[in-house]
Amino acid sequence: MRRVTLTLAMLLAVTAGCAATPPPSAPELNGTAWVVTAITASATLSDTRPTLSFGAGRYSGTTGCNSYGGDATIAGTSVRLGPAVVTAMACLDERVMAQEAKFLAVLPEVASARATPNGVELLNSAGQSLLSLAPTPTPSPRALIGTTWTLTTIRSATSATSVVNGSSVTVTLAQNRYTGKACNTFGGDLTVSGDRISFGAPHSTKMACPSPEWSAQEAAVLGSLTTLASWTISANTLTLSAPDGSGLDFVAS
């Protein structure tokens, strides 16, 4: 009888101990910005670390050479990153090129996240560490209205291109109106409601651009404005997106 009583007491103690251990809490990712300190447990280049931000169903950042972004699905500790759209700038440093390739290769493998004393780890489906993230100070977000935004990237549904070398495209949003400058000055009506945005058909001057590449870029920007439906701001970066994932990315001037 004594042996049974001791065994029962031990089982109750073990059960109580297990019940007292809370499940791991899901790290908060939405609206956060991180620097990548390790990829598959190997430290990133101290002078050129990738960055990774989350917000409004999207992830984005820089590889240390190119900008990238895509759709993100986050539910508790589960994290799924959709295909990344990446700019096509050449990385002159071979170390940076190798790090970029390694970083982009692991993004589709991300399956979950866990908090660590130093930040967050993104894991694959086997629980192995893919990316170690440390928080990065995030500047106060720039205001959507009244800021002049300079174009950095034109996104299609499947790819992204940087602005033509030497060119500049800017947009300034005001109450009910927007104005901009590419080769030509343009503008139109604007409606903003929450995270939804609608650009009216642009009116533009008719000056010739310096090159066919600039003309094509201007046409792509003006043609995409009326398709844009949502906006997000992360620090000094404005992302304007259409329902199919295409859009325009800007940085505050």
Q: How far is CA 235 from CA 69, 108, 171, in A?
A: 15, 25, 17
Return d(Cα 54, Cα 29) in angstroms, integer: 6
Residues 212, 120: Cα–Cα separation, whole Å: 46
Q: What is the pLDDT of residues 79-122, one digit of tens each?
A: 999 999 888 877 778 899 999 999 999 999 999 999 999 899 99
The domain boundary, picked from 70, 102, 135, lies at: 135
> Tell me, what amino acid is at 116?
T
Strands 196-199 and 203-204: unpaired
Residue 3, in any domain of the structure: no
Inside any domain, residue 196: yes
| Model pLDDT, residue 20 | 46
Does residue 143 belong to any structural domain of this protein? no
Indicate whether 24 belongs to any domain: no
208 and 156 both lie in a single domain? yes
Same domain, 166 and 236: yes
Q: Please list, in sequence order, all residues whose beta carbon lies within 8 angstroms of the beta carbon of residue 169, skipping any fewer than 6 positions away.
A: 150, 151, 163, 180, 181, 182, 217, 218, 221
Reported as half-sphere exposure (CB side, CA atoms, 13 A), residue 188 has a value of 16
20: in domain: no
- Shared domain for 102 and 125, answered yes or no, is yes
Nearest to 51 by CA among 69, 70, 66, 33: 33
Residue 202 tokens read as 């642009």
Report helix, strand or coil for 112: strand
Write down the pLDDT at residue 91: 77
A 10 A CB-CB count for 55 gives 17
* Residue 176 is assigned to a structural domain of this protein: yes
Q: Is residue 172 located within the same domain as residue 240?
A: yes
Q: Residue 40 belongs to a domain with what CATH number?
A: 2.40.128.270
Statement to judge: residues 101 and 189 lie in one domain: no
Q: Are residues 230 and 155 in the same domain?
A: yes
Q: How far apart are CA 22 and CA 140, in angstroms?
A: 34
DSSP state of 124: -
Give me the pLDDT at residue 137, please: 62
Number of domains in the chain: 2
Judged by DSSP in three states, 68 sits in strand
Residue with tokens 């995030």, as numbered in its chain: 138
Q: Are 103 and 140 in contact (CB under 8 A)?
A: no
Q: What pLDDT score was predicted for residue 25? A: 64
Residues 128 and 38 reside in one and the same domain: yes
| Residues 176 and 95 grouped into a single domain | no
Whether residue 141 is contained in a domain is answered as no
Cα–Cα distance between 231 and 144 in angstroms, integer? 9
Are 69 and 98 in a shared domain?
Answer: yes
| Domain-ending residue, one of 89, 113, 135 | 135
Containing structural domain, residue 78: 32-135
**Overall pTM surpassing 0.75 (yes/no):** no
**Residue ranges, the chain, pLDDT below 70:** 1-25, 137-140
